[in-house]
Chain A
């Protein structure tokens, strides 16, 4: 019997994201690692989990990781398929989806997200794809989990552009979720390849609550562009089980 190779940082990130869906009824996902995590969650933790893709496929049951949110397998295995206006008005906007996984190019301390431009809007250094569904998804889904790589170019003191509101300027500011009239709870976790950040219950500022095995709080602080707060009781991620790793690797190899 061959020993299973140690998990990579990316695999740990995916496994932790999948565990976040243990008790969720439904999850909204884009492509890439979030999609892999959600498919893993259905396979290992939560077989009843409803996968919702932006393309309109609700209850999709992919056995491979799709390249695009509109791959044929998603439509063919879905419980039902809806138009884009129906997706955003009846399902996302009305708050019928429990958890949303979002990515971004930049994240700030209040888990606001930039996926529009790096640099000045009119003369961008890098033009990113833009908002897609994110602003309304983050406003209306039950909770948001942000999945991004951890580095100082991603975790910034100040966003170049605010595409999507997490906690705005905190609980009491003019851009708080409450003032903006958002109905979802907002970001409950930022899961990276180094650890997990969660909002402080009072200030809503992201706090490092968990590091993955072999990672130190100092390392995470260095990879963060603001003075990162660290929880008094910093947890360490439970190592991916053999089952989690085996299913994940099988899934990615298909």
Chain B
């Protein structure tokens, strides 16, 4: 049953050093506030899982918090490269990082299998590419038709963290707009934390919204603006200028570290 906690207490309760951790949100609803709290608490040796690492994982990787990254698209959407991600892979800075990469379809199906507590998912994909030699995927024959397909292993992160528009006092969560893979990530993970823009007395059902009941979530924390510079549809807007600014700033190691110290590590947690 979800417990309403402060962001600081919630992150401390669900995340430990060395955990495999999925902070999901496909361009929309990226849990930046929770990711920053991880850094303030000094979490290390994390296995970071995310379809699109985005600026949040660029920051975690650049600060040396990750030992491993599982992903499918490591770019700054619409802008270009993730410079800290590139520096880690190309030059082992600030440390060497192990990578496991997939296609989007592969990652999505890995979460689906994890949510269903199945060992793997079946799909058409990867064949003919060089990716197949570099990642976890195996051929499988359909037992009914004989068709050759591929299997991808389930994802079962230690922790999933997502951001949503609202929760009620029982920790039931509702999110709307682009839903990404957040529902699957929460259901695939052993523990989960949802940060929300606001706590409401009662959730008003919205067409097309996703509802996660409090009884599949461990902790809910209020973090207004907690997806910035990503956004929470209907409440905040995507800060496209910040994504462009990041492209400039993050090219330089010293400028990056100075910015992170000033804007992330020194910032008080949302209490």
Residue ranges of A at the interface with B (Cβ–Cβ < 8 Å): 31-32, 54-57, 66-72, 74-76, 80-85, 87-89, 92-93, 116, 121, 124-136, 139-140, 161-165, 168, 175, 180-182
Bound together, the chains give a CA A231 to CA B6 distance in angstroms of 67
Question: Looking at the complex, which one of B27, B74, B126, B233 makes contact with A130 (CB distance below 8 Å)?
Answer: B74
Q: What residues of chain A lie closer than 8 Å to B233, measured between beta carbons?
A: 72, 75-76
B72 within 8 A of A: yes
Q: What residues of chain A lie closer than 8 Å to B143, measured between beta carbons?
A: none
The 6 closest A-B pairs by CB, nearest first: A70-B27, A129-B75, A68-B77, A132-B73, A165-B128, A88-B105
Interface residues of B in 55-98 (CB under 8 A from A): 71-75, 77-79, 81-82, 85-86, 89-90
Q: Is the interface of B mostly helix, strand, loop or mixed?
A: loop
Bound together, the chains give a CA A87 to CA B105 distance in angstroms of 9
A75-B233, A135-B103 known; A84+B129 contact, CB < 8 A: no
Interface residues of B in 116-142 (CB under 8 A from A): 123-131, 134
6 further A-B contacts with Cβ under 8 Å, apart from A69-B78, A83-B183, are A70-B28, A84-B108, A85-B181, A121-B134, A162-B128, A164-B129
Indicate the member of B89, B104, B134, B243 with the most A CB atoms within 10 Å.
Answer: B104
* 29 A-B pairs (CB sep. < 8 Å): A31-B78, A54-B104, A55-B178, A56-B178, A72-B237, A76-B233, A81-B177, A83-B180, A84-B104, A85-B109, A88-B108, A88-B109, A93-B123, A93-B124, A116-B130, A116-B131, A125-B90, A127-B89, A129-B81, A131-B101, A131-B104, A132-B75, A133-B103, A134-B103, A136-B124, A161-B130, A168-B128, A181-B124, A181-B148
B32 within 8 A of A: no
Bound together, the chains give a CA A116 to CA B104 distance in angstroms of 13
Question: Looking at the complex, which one of A57, A66, A80, A162 makes contact with B78 (CB distance below 8 Å)?
Answer: A66
Q: Is the Cβ of B178 less than 8 Å from the Cβ of A135?
A: no
Bound together, the chains give a CA A71 to CA B27 distance in angstroms of 8
- A72 closest partner in B (C-beta): B233
Question: Looking at the complex, which one of A85, A132, A165 makes contact with B129 (CB distance below 8 Å)?
Answer: A165
Bound together, the chains give a CA A12 to CA B72 distance in angstroms of 32
Q: What residues of chain B lie closer than 8 Å to A126, measured between beta carbons?
A: 86, 90
Q: What residues of chain B lie closer than 8 Å to A87, measured between beta carbons?
A: 108
- A80 closest partner in B (C-beta): B208
B102 within 8 A of A: yes
- B27 closest partner in A (C-beta): A70
Indicate the member of B26, B103, B179, B237 with the most A CB atoms within 10 Å.
Answer: B103
Interface residues of B in 186-230 (CB under 8 A from A): 208, 210
Question: Looking at the complex, which one of A66, A124, A135, A180 makes contact with B89 (CB distance below 8 Å)?
Answer: A124
Bound together, the chains give a CA A161 to CA B101 distance in angstroms of 13
B51 within 8 A of A: yes
Q: Is the Cβ of A68 less than 8 Å from the Cβ of B179?
A: no
B170 within 8 A of A: no
Question: Looking at the complex, which one of B90, B105, B112, B231 makes contact with A124 (CB distance below 8 Å)?
Answer: B90
A68-B78, A135-B125 known; A56+B90 contact, CB < 8 A: no
Q: Is the Cβ of A135 less than 8 Å from the Cβ of B129?
A: yes
Bound together, the chains give a CA A80 to CA B89 distance in angstroms of 38
Question: Looking at the complex, which one of A32, A127, A133 makes contact with B85 (CB distance below 8 Å)?
Answer: A127
B261 within 8 A of A: no
Q: Is the Cβ of B181 less than 8 Å from the Cβ of A181?
A: no
Q: What residues of chain B lie closer than 8 Å to A72, measured between beta carbons?
A: 28, 177, 231, 233, 237-238
Indicate the member of A71, A126, A129, A139 with the most B CB atoms within 10 Å.
Answer: A129
A68-B27, A181-B148 known; A31+B77 contact, CB < 8 A: yes
Q: Is the Cβ of B131 less than 8 Å from the Cβ of A127?
A: no
Q: Is the Cβ of A68 less than 8 Å from the Cβ of B240?
A: yes
Nearest CB of chain B from residue A59's CB, rounded to whole Å: 13
Q: Is the Cβ of B102 less than 8 Å from the Cβ of A81?
A: no
B147 within 8 A of A: yes
Q: Is the Cβ of B183 less than 8 Å from the Cβ of A88?
A: no
- B75 closest partner in A (C-beta): A129
Q: Is the Cβ of B178 less than 8 Å from the Cβ of A70?
A: yes
Bound together, the chains give a CA A181 to CA B134 distance in angstroms of 21
Nearest CB of chain B from residue A73's CB, rounded to whole Å: 10
Q: What residues of chain B lie closer than 8 Å to A67, measured between beta carbons?
A: 77-79, 238, 240, 243
Question: Looking at the complex, which one of A54, A124, A131 makes contact with B131 (CB distance below 8 Å)?
Answer: A131
Q: Is the Cβ of A56 less than 8 Å from the Cβ of B26?
A: yes
